[in-house]
Amino acid sequence: MRGDKDSIDPAAYGIETVPSHVAIIMDGNGRWAKQRGRIRLLGHREGAKAVRRSVRFSYKVGVKHLTLFAFSAQNWARPESEVAGLMELLMEYLSGERRELIERGIRFRTVGDIERVAPRVREEIARLEQDSSDGTEMELIIALSYGGREDIVQAARSFAEDVKAGRVDPSSIDIESFSKRLYTGAIPDPDLLIRTSGEQRISNFMLWQLAYSELHITDVLWPDFSEEDYATALRDYSNRERRFGLTGAQVTGSK
């Protein structure tokens, strides 16, 4: 259960509305290392600390779903040593955080083409997914070997197979049933997308799911992303008016 000492009053940070689902494109590890004349992997290692900070802050402030873009389908094409280093860091994260996640009732899961991931990493993921599956306080979703286009294609393929086998009537395919076939399944769409390191692009993240997410782009490099930077993003979100295609008056109920 969530103890009092573990929660933060969002109002104390000037946050009026806490988004239910925050997704983060954690970018800038390589540049962080380069600025210091260090190897890229050191930036990733420092980035892992920012992951821990962000998970804790999300939990304390009451975010219900946190998705972290950790490794894209395209990142497989990076130098072999970098890919191996990233997978090693993931293993370290899984074993190092396992206890805290389970104790705090944080359910862990991944989205992406996990079949491409080495079996020993996959096994560790499956073990934590299983052991944290009772968690109801928060959901931590790691997008791993994930691509937004790949996600849409796999959902389309699964429909095509079911249609071909006569299990699905094409006319029954709609936005809701399509969403359910995505890697994210029943997870609600992100309310807020944060991207660090100043890049103004989606980089093949959740193309479908981000349709109406609010975007917050900060120049801060991921390893430097602090609780205060996170609070700034949440404050920014609080000040947005989400209209979903309606008029402002329709949304606020004013004339």
Helix, strand or coil, per DSSP, at residue 230:
helix
Q: Which two tokens stand for residue 142?
A: 């790691």
Name residues whose C-beta falls within 8 Å of residue 77's C-beta, 6 or more positions apart in sequence: none
Which is the catalytic residue, given 75, 113, 131, 224?
75
Q: Is residue 30 within the footprint of ligand IPE (CB under 6 A)? A: yes
Give, as one character, the DSSP assignment of residue 59: H
Question: Of 38, 49, 149, 201, which lies in the binding site for ligand IPE, with binding defined by CB under 6 A?
Answer: 201
Name the segment binding Mg ion (CB under 5 A); options: 1-9, 20-28, 64-72, 95-103: 20-28
User: Considering CB distances under 5 to 8 angstroms, the limit depending on partner class, which of ligand IPE, Mg ion, none binds residue 203?
Assistant: ligand IPE
Select the residue whose beta carbon is closest to Mg ion and give its number: 27
Give the angle subtended at the CA of 247 by the CAs of 244 and 253, to the nearest 5°. Answer: 100
Contact pattern from residue 77 through residue 106 relative to ligand IPE, giving x for each residue in contact according to CB under 6 A and a dash for the rest:
---------x--------------------
Please state, in angstroms and rounded to a whole number, the distance separating the CA atoms of residues 227 and 146.
26
Q: Is residue 70 within the footprint of ligand IPE (CB under 6 A)? A: yes
Our CB check for ligand IPE shows the closer of 26 and 128 to be 26
Q: Is residue 149 within the footprint of ligand IPE (CB under 6 A)? A: no
Q: Is residue 27 within the footprint of Mg ion (CB under 5 A)? A: yes
For the beta carbon of residue 211, count every other beta carbon within 10 angstroms: 11
Question: Of 57, 69, 230, 237, which lies in the binding site for ligand IPE, with binding defined by CB under 6 A?
Answer: 69
Task: Confirm whether 27 is a catalytic residue.
Answer: yes
Query: Is there a contact between 51 and 36 (Cβ–Cβ < 8 Å)?
Result: no
Task: Confirm whether 75 is a catalytic residue.
Answer: yes
Question: Of 28, 85, 147, 148, which lies in the binding site for ligand IPE, with binding defined by CB under 6 A?
Answer: 28
Q: Which amino acid is at 98?
A: R
Query: Is there a contact between 208 and 152 (Cβ–Cβ < 8 Å)?
Result: yes
Query: Is there a contact between 48 and 91 (Cβ–Cβ < 8 Å)?
Result: no
In the complex, least distance from residue 27 CB atom to Mg ion, rounded to whole angstroms: 4
Query: 108-127 b/e with 16+ CB inside 10 Å = b?
Result: bbbbbbeeebeeebeebbee
Which residues here bind ligand IPE, judged by CB under 6 A?
A: 25-31, 69-72, 75, 86, 197, 199, 201, 203
